[in-house]
Amino acid sequence: MSDQNQKINEFLETMDLNEPAPAEEPARQFYFIKKARMLVAKQEAQLGHPLTFCVTTFGCQMNARDSEKLVGILEQIGYKEEAEEEKADFVIFNTCTVRENANQRVYGRLGQLSRIKKRNPHMLIGLCGCMMQEPEVVEKLKKSYRFVDLIFGTHNIYKFAELIATRLESNRMVIDIWKDTDKIVEDLPSERKYPFKSGVNIMFGCNNFCSYCIVPYVRGRERSRNPKDIIREIEMLVADGVVEVMLLGQNVNSYGKNLDEPMTFAQLLTEIEKIEGLERIRFMTSHPKDLSDELIEVMGRSKKICKHLHLPVQSGSTRILEKMNRRYTKEQYLDLVERIRRAVPDISLTTDIIVGFPGETEEDFLETMDVVKKVRYDSAFTFQYSKRTGTPAAVMEDQVPADVVTDRFNRLLKEVQQISAETCSVYKDTIQEVLVEQQNDHDPHLMTGRMSNNLLVHFPGDLSLIGKIVPVALKECRGFYYIGEITESVQ
Ligand code: 5AD
Ligand code: SF4
């Protein structure tokens, strides 16, 4: 039994279900874990088989981390993981709503599930995440998707055990959505997807209000976690075999501003770097307007911070950037890139770009293409603008016609792909340190690992290498990844 499980079981022993639930967290949730365990065991005895779950995650790394928390709680309650959604007794969709097509996918999947639930009436369906923070979505679910059992949002995910217990006892649709919160609950169970790497939330929410973006409305105001809690979590992860952490926040560069004792992100990184046994530090996402010289300096001298920076530009046109409320100009962005490259010469830069923002002209679009050509990103996520109800951009005039957006999108994609194939190839014949992540999906003789700059490399090896950092000679570049061979040491 893992340390975490042993501690949880010892704590659960002390809980008396004949007493009312404690008011304070996380004790209250442990009470409900114990209660739900009992209810699940009872149902298992009635059905004559173990109960299973399947969590499907849409969207970003934040959601992926939240799903690990959901899985941790489900496993504590006694559910076993089932890879195939159709076979699971409890299906959970952790949703994203950043673009409209993410919502459409969820409705489509729900339609399929409703047919399965007709055949298997004791199946439970839970929905959570960003999409549930939109009141119109919840109204639609209440009206047309009555077969859904449990709906909750982004602020109260820590209450999952309590919500499951409520659903198991009540037999009716349970809905619990909070508009916002200033609460951060620590120390609940969580089950990592990978034993050797983990996401670590350092802050929640966002205060930027970019005019196209729904995130501030669904993830609430910015709240930083206490540095002591972050360090303690990473130390525990390292003791449990983790060598790489990804620090997560919507805008990590403004970390610490609202703490009782304010602290900068660069200072936090400096503290995390001191943790012995931790080999690699990544972080996501950086807003260019808040990226400080102090951070550039820390990245320049760090031995553990990976040589990769995701720096969303969104548009290359200063006029559009202003309408987007990004609070930097094209020139300021390019200057920032230059300063970063000077301090960290071999850094890999990636970005997010939106095409077709309201009012975007051909000239504006060409400014974006110009930034792409000047920066030469290692890779870029390109998106067609998607209108999100409630955001300022949704009511802006001059929405760009769909065919114009598609045409610009295709031209941008071609440029981005051409450049990233060229930038990827520069590492050929070098030796790089690679964290071995998994067996190759297509060829069991190959292992797949990630370099500090986030590029993937496949090379002959075996399962014993997983979680280790090894030197790999890069033999052949195949566009976005390498084929290599383990070698003696790094040059
Ligand atoms: N339309 C298209 N793309 C969007 N993004 C955020 N909101 C929208 C929208 N309304 C993109 C941004 C952001 C990434 C996570 O998603 O590029 O950086
Ligand atoms: Fe992540 Fe934003 Fe999507 Fe929520 S809406 S899952 S925060 S990308």
Distance CA 93, CA 67 (A): 9
End-to-end CA distance of the chain: give it in Å, rounded: 41
| Residues belonging to the chain | 491
| pLDDT value of position 470 | 97
B/e letters for 451-463, b = 16+ CB within 10 Å, e = fewer, are bbbbbbbbbebee
DSSP string for residues in 60-76 = SHHHHHHHHHHHHHHHH
Alpha-carbon dihedral sign for residues 465, 470, 475, 481: positive
DSSP string for residues in 391-405 = SGGGG-S-PPPHHHH
* Closest ligand by atom to 59 CA: 2
Q: Say if ligand 2 is within 6 A of residue 137 CB.
A: no
Q: Considering only CA atoms, which residue is closest to atom 5 of ligand 2?
A: 98
Please tell me the distance between residue 62's alpha carbon and the centre of ligand 1 in angstroms. 15
Q: Considering only CA atoms, which residue is closest to atom 2 of ligand 1?
A: 385
Ligand 2 atom at minimum distance from 94 CA: 6
Summarised one tens digit per residue, pLDDT across range 32-81 is 999 999 999 999 999 999 999 999 999 999 999 999 999 999 999 999 99
Q: Say if ligand 2 is within 6 A of residue 96 CB.
A: yes
| pLDDT value of position 11 | 84
Reduced to 3 states, what is the DSSP secondary structure of residue 361?
coil
**Whole-structure pTM over 0.75, yes or no?**
yes
Distance CA 207, CA 263 (A): 17
Ligand 2 atom at minimum distance from 95 CA: 6
Summarised one tens digit per residue, pLDDT across range 163-204 is 999 999 998 999 999 998 888 888 888 999 999 999 999 999
The residue-averaged pLDDT of 194-221 equals 95
| pLDDT value of position 319 | 98
Distances (CA, A) of 321 to 178, 237, 286, 330, 362: 32, 39, 16, 8, 15
Which tokens sit at 425? 């190839």
Which tokens sit at 251? 């805008």
Q: Say if ligand 2 is within 6 A of residue 248 CB.
A: no
Element (H, E) at 412: helix 402-424
Ligand 2 atom at minimum distance from 154 CA: 4
Indicate whether 490 pLDDT > 70: no
